[in-house]
């Protein structure tokens, strides 16, 4: 059965973000390094996403909600979310992931709404910069 993918607003994400079982996946490419990012987000650039998808699955073990985004969440974010959902279906492993979401309006909408942006250069971001 194919997993459904739905959208989440920035306000909804902000309310969920403190929960330890959620992971934010930033699939922007180079712009993450100079535009900043959502604190604590994981970076899996869209141009190499397919090659690193198994790494992502390992990194999100124990999470039940994944939120994908790119700059606007119109192409790269939804595409990577669908690739990940398809990958999970192919491997047929109980991964514990219940929700695959896409951040409406992406990072640009998040930042334009005045939500917290981290500008650290830590890889991975430890989420301590809010």
Helix or strand run (H / E) with residue 99:
strand 99-103
Nearest to 69 by CA among 26, 127, 17, 117: 26
Out of 70, 80, 118, 125, the active site residue is 70
Q: Are 68 and 25 in contact (CB under 8 A)?
A: yes
The CA-CA-CA angle for residues 55, 22, 85, to 5°, reads 50
Kindly give, in sequence order, each residue whose CB lies less than 8 Å from that of residue 58, ignoring residues fewer than 6 positions away.
none
70 in catalytic set: yes
> Which sequence positions are flagged as catalytic?
70
């Amino acid at each position: 059965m194919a997993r459904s993918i739905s959208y989440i607003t920035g306000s909804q994400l902000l309310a969920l973000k403190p929960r330890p079982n959620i992971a934010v996946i930033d699939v922007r490419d180079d712009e993450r390094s100079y535009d900043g990012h959502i604190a604590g987000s994981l970076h899996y650039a869209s141009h190499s996403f397919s090659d690193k998808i198994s790494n992502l699955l390992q990194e999100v073990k124990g999470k039940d909600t994944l939120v994908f985004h790119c700059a606007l969440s119109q192409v790269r974010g939804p595409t990577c979310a669908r690739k990940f959902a398809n990958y999970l279906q192919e491997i047929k492993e109980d991964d514990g992931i219940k929700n695959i979401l896409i951040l409406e309006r992406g990072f640009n909408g998040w930042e334009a709404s005045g939500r917290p942006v981290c500008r650290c250069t830590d890889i991975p971001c430890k989420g301590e910069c809010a």
